[in-house]
Amino acid sequence: MTQFEDTLHGDLHQYLVSLNELDEHFPDCPDVEEKWDEIARAYMPDGIREFSDYPTVSLGWMMYVGMAVAKFWDTEWEIYSKVENLYVFMRDRRGYDNMDEYIREDVLLLSGDSYTQLEKVVGECASRVYNVLRHQQIEPGTKEAFEAYVSCLHQLYLMGVAMQLKRMSYHMTRI
């Protein structure tokens, strides 16, 4: 990881630990991590298009995607690991604008307070990442800006995966 990504990781991890959304020991889930490149490539056209008007949506939706992939991994990975493009599969259920609702309702099966609470946590994580990104003094439209955006998405994906693993009782503790 780059120093920028390390900073994002540390900030998000500590924030989520403080909310009891993550354990101190960060989980490792190679099957889900292997999907990152494919998901990132598919997400870029939508995420970049939305970033200028809705930066926290563009960032936060990736956290939901990470949570959904972790849920798929836990339930029926034999099926979902073979889906040609998991991101497009999720997006096309209700469209990009409603993908968060699809994931919370139909994938994670949330309602009521847990539905609303997750929305707040993801929104805060996206806001934190956007704030760090804005303070990097990176010129928009450059290669460096693109790489920083991808780093942000990657960390939000990983945090989403980790949160969902913990929610499914995969507690990460040192042995």
Can you tell me the distance from the alpha carbon of 87 to that of 101, in angstroms, rounded to the nearest whole number? Answer: 14
Ramachandran region, residue 87 (left: φ > 0; alpha: ψ -120 to 50; beta: rest)? alpha
CA dihedral for 93, 95, 96, 102, sign (positive or negative): negative
Q: Exposed/middle/buried for 52, CB within 10 Å: 0-12, 13-18, 19+? A: exposed
Tell the residue number behind the tokens 């989403």, with chain if given.
160
* 122-160: pLDDT as tens digits: 999 999 999 999 999 899 889 999 999 999 999 999 999
Is residue 149 within 8 Å of 48, Cβ to Cβ?
Answer: yes
List strand residue ranges (DSSP E) for the chain, in order.
none
Q: Quick one: how far is CA 6 from the chain centroid?
A: 16
Range 105-123 average pLDDT = 97
* Length of the chain counted residue by residue: 175
* 63-99: pLDDT as tens digits: 999 999 999 999 999 999 899 899 999 999 999 999 9
Instruction: Say what the pLDDT of residue 93 is.
Output: 96
Range 160-166 average pLDDT = 95
What are the structure tokens assigned to 20, written together? 């009891």
Q: Is the pTM of this model over 0.85?
A: yes
Is residue 86 within 8 Å of 38, Cβ to Cβ?
Answer: yes
Can you tell me the distance from the alpha carbon of 155 to that of 59, in angstroms, rounded to the nearest whole number? Answer: 10
Can you tell me the distance from the alpha carbon of 96 to that of 131, in angstroms, rounded to the nearest whole number? Answer: 23
Per cent of the chain over pLDDT 90 is 85
Report whether pLDDT(171) > 70. Answer: no
